[in-house]
Structure 1
Amino acid sequence: MIQFKNESITVFQSALFQTTCTVAVTKDIVLVTDPNWLPHEIEEIKHHVARVQGDKEVFLLFTHGDFDHIIGYHAFPGAKVIGSKGLQEHPAKGQKLELIQQFYNEYYIHPPYKIGFPEVDFVISEDGQQLVVGETALKFYLAQGHTHDGLFTLVEPLGLWIAGDYLSDFELPFIYYSAKAYEETLRKAEKVLLNHKVSVLVPGHGQTTANLEEINRRILLSQDYLNRLISAVTKEDREELNALEKEMAFPSNFTKKCHDDNIAIVRREYTGE
């Protein structure tokens, strides 16, 4: 379904995990980010892109390599792919493809497209790197923590900030890679908000916002959670850790595992265990 729309930006939201796909149309390009999940949802995105494309080139942006974000890769043949160096050199490409196939198998879905890991045409390897097409400038920042291969993307002149799996309105940090890197990414987020004219933020899961106070609230929310998590782990405060688990939205076996993984990574990085 369409979650957000203005004259240049359309954000689709999957029924699964509130995962978003952003389609941004500038004078020069159509930028499609993380097309996902279900076949009919990706078809809706494809139809929309066909309506707005005209003679513009389509670029596919992948915020990171988690399987739910790359599942629609082959729905846009011929599109130029943008991704981080970490995505290009992802050490677990085969595992991600197995997860896609497993998803389809579990729900008796015939894969509508060939299953494949994105082959990156434009590799982002450093903060501040840009891709300029005509009057459109895409500016990138490496965003590690949730994964090792994440990206923040700023689309100028639209004022669009595509955040990947950060800065959700409801989802607390899921640390798959590094808590210390996650903290650094949140510090980058503060700088992005300070140094760029941001008018729309799209997280990988959850609601789009055009409110700067809300964006700042989300940064502070994630920072507060990480600070309390690190403190509870280092102090071995089991009561606080249990309380933090209960703050996870949509409590499930999945969120419990994410909480346990968060603890394990913080313990490794901050206590040496």
Structure 2
Amino acid sequence: MIQYQDKHLTVFESQLYKTTSTVIQTEDCVIVVDPCLLPSEVDEIREHVVSMKGNRPVYLIITHSDWDHIVGAGAFPEAIVIASEAFQLKNPNEILEQVKAFDDEYYIDRKTSVVYPNVDIVVKKDGEQLKIGNTTLTFYEAKGHTDDGIFAIVEPLGIWIAGDYLSDIEFPFIYSSSTDYMKTLEKTEAILSVHRIKFLITGHGHVARSTEEILIRKQDSLKYINNLKQVIQSNAEHEHLVDSYRYKRSLKKCHEENVRFLLNE
């Protein structure tokens, strides 16, 4: 499962949708982000954490409430859960039903309980910080994909946890607000100016390891949204907007969902 690994950072990649899960270890704590997706994959992430955590506390960051990002949370009952204020306001039964529907479709059995996490540390605004010894977590609201997303910056390691933004394999999936999505993308330069980012970890796709790559991803995402708005307003053909993406047969469905969403907006 390992997409990238060094002495502090392990990025796991699921066989489904290139969904990433992240484990970060510092001298002060172990941080787990969005553990997912198949049961054996969650087990592998859990085993990795148990093998190296020692006496350090475990913090579980949930970037947003999409079912594929909360599905493995039950494997870490000891963790201190961090999520946004809006994450707490979601209907847990609705999210859990999506997990059950996926598992039923593919006859999947899970050893660990599927739970909607109870939040211990609530992120309410941009710039909130959590200091754990010499480790500092800085949080930013990341709305647009959903209305409850967060970014997390882990310092001094320079790791940016981006959730379902700034992917190299997906265009923006807009479930909440296209305006909010663009505002979230526009935070990129500000974050890069305040923090020395060495790694950007997206929820689906590959780790970005340079400022240049991060900025390219930002521009690509903005370009898609702006182009999509233009073709909708002019009632023009729009399928060509996904032609450059590798998995376009599947992504066309998501693109059509974006079209319907923006038409409603």
TM-score (ref. length: structure 1): 0.94
Amino acid at match of 1:242: E
Give the C-alpha shift of residue 152 in structure 1.
0.6
Q: Aligned partners of 1:226 and 1:103: how far apart in 2?
A: 29
Give the C-alpha shift of residue 248 in structure 1.
4.2
The SS at the match of 1:24 is strand
Q: Aligned partners of 2:195 and 2:240: how far apart in 1?
A: 36
The SS at the match of 2:165 is coil
Amino acid at match of 1:158: L
Q: Match of 1:264?
A: 260
Unpaired segments ≥5 residues, structure 2: none
Q: Match of 1:131?
A: 130
Unpaired segments ≥5 residues, structure 1: none
Q: Match of 1:100?
A: 99
Residue pairs, 1:1-273, within 5 angstroms:
1-90=1-90, 92-238=91-237, 241-252=238-249, 254-269=250-265
Instruction: Give me the identity figure in percent.
Output: 44
The SS at the match of 2:122 is strand
How many residue pairs get aligned? The number is 265
CA contact (8 A) 1:142 1:150 kept: yes
Q: Aligned partners of 2:192 and 2:223: how far apart in 1?
A: 18
Q: Aligned partners of 2:37 and 2:123: how far apart in 1?
A: 25
Q: Aligned partners of 1:210 and 1:121: how far apart in 2?
A: 31
The SS at the match of 1:164 is coil
The SS at the match of 1:111 is coil
CA contact (8 A) 1:37 1:68 kept: yes
CA contact (8 A) 2:64 2:163 kept: yes
The SS at the match of 2:214 is helix
TM-score (ref. length: structure 2): 0.96
Give the C-alpha shift of residue 7 in structure 1.
1.4
CA contact (8 A) 2:167 2:202 kept: yes
Q: Aligned partners of 1:44 and 1:268: how far apart in 2?
A: 41
CA contact (8 A) 1:175 1:258 kept: no
Q: Aligned partners of 2:261 and 2:191: how far apart in 1?
A: 26
Q: Aligned partners of 2:64 and 2:233: how far apart in 1?
A: 30
Q: String of CA shifts for 1:2-27, please: whole Å, max 9, x gaps.
A: 00011110000000000000100011
Q: Where has structure 1 moved over 3 Å in runs of 4 or more?
A: 245-249
Amino acid at match of 2:212: E
Q: Aligned partners of 2:246 and 2:98: how far apart in 1?
A: 23
**Cα RMSD, aligned residues only:** 1.2
Give the C-alpha shift of residue 82 in structure 1.
0.3
CA contact (8 A) 1:190 1:219 kept: no
